[in-house]
Amino acid sequence: MRIVLVGPPGAGKGTQAAFLAKNLSIPHISTGDLFRANISKQTELGKLAKSYMDAGNLVPDEVTIAMAKDRMEQSDAVNGFLLDGFPRNVSQAEALDEMLKAESMKLDAVLDLEVPEDEVVKRIAGRRICRNDSAHVFHVTYQAPKAEGVCDTCGGELYQRDDDSEETVRKRLEVYHTQTEPIIDYYKAQGLVVTISALGKVEDVTGKAMAALKGDGEGE
């Protein structure tokens, strides 16, 4: 299957992508991973992307598209892939369509993880991370530490990252609504969108997503 995963920040896309890719035996292609891999390997595209990032500018669509194209042409993606973070806007979606068309391929589904805005804010703004080890993550509502502000695992101080503040989260949501959400309508016009609620336990959301992709669960 060839799937695009969309949803606001805090919808759990990364977590769901990993589970779905494993269940469907297809590679999970994440924009973040693509950038990190190209930059660490110092590919031409990686160097180009880094030059924009170092200057504090957004990486142009054509660089992101080229990275995605290169990854989708690798042998493990021949029988399908799950795209997470790409396409991020309508022009990238159009470029993806052109890429697939050139190879006589098409997308099978666009999985839209739906989460109410207030829940997104609650999920992200409630995160607390250990200063000693960023892998130790807690949540003031969903996974509160035994002692406030103290890591259960190592006793380190827990803090809120600057980009997890409510103000920053709401700005990120604005960007999502303006830039990424329009691709949902773009794909709806092609009859590809399957919408599921991303509320509930991780495994329950994965179950709903798998059922919807197979056409026997909830979704549009």
14 in a known ligand binding site = yes
87 in a known ligand binding site = yes
36 in a known ligand binding site = yes
Q: Is the peptide bond before 27 cis (omega within 30 degrees of 0)?
A: no
Reading the block at residue 93, the tokens are 């979606």
31 in a known ligand binding site = yes
**Catalytic residue of the set 13, 71, 122, 123:** 13
**Catalytic residue of the set 122, 123, 127, 128:** 127
Query: Is 88 among the residues known to form the active site?
Result: yes
Reading the block at residue 195, the tokens are 């919408």
Nearest alpha carbon to residue 96 among 72, 60, 75, 113: 72
Query: Is 2 among the residues known to form the active site?
Result: no
Query: Is 13 among the residues known to form the active site?
Result: yes
Burial of 1 (0-12, 13-18, 19+ CB in 10 A): middle
For the beta carbon of residue 186, count every other beta carbon within 10 angstroms: 18
| Cα 154 versus chain centre, distance | 30
Query: Is 71 among the residues known to form the active site?
Result: no
For the beta carbon of residue 14, count every other beta carbon within 10 angstroms: 14
**Catalytic residue of the set 50, 69, 88, 188:** 88
Q: How far is CA 141 from CA 102, 125, 135, 145, in A?
A: 48, 10, 18, 10
32 in a known ligand binding site = no
**Catalytic residue of the set 50, 69, 170, 172:** 172
80 in a known ligand binding site = no
172 in a known ligand binding site = yes
161 in a known ligand binding site = yes
138 in a known ligand binding site = yes
Query: Is 127 among the residues known to form the active site?
Result: yes
57 in a known ligand binding site = yes
**Catalytic residue of the set 41, 161, 171, 214:** 161
Nearest alpha carbon to residue 209 among 10, 85, 219: 219
12 in a known ligand binding site = yes
Annotated binding-site residues read 10-15, 31, 36, 57-59, 85-88, 92, 127, 137-138, 161, 172, 200
Annotated binding-site residues for AMP read 31, 36, 57-59, 85-88, 92, 161, 172
Annotated binding-site residues for ATP read 10-15, 127, 137-138, 200
Enzyme catalytic residues:
13, 88, 127, 161, 172
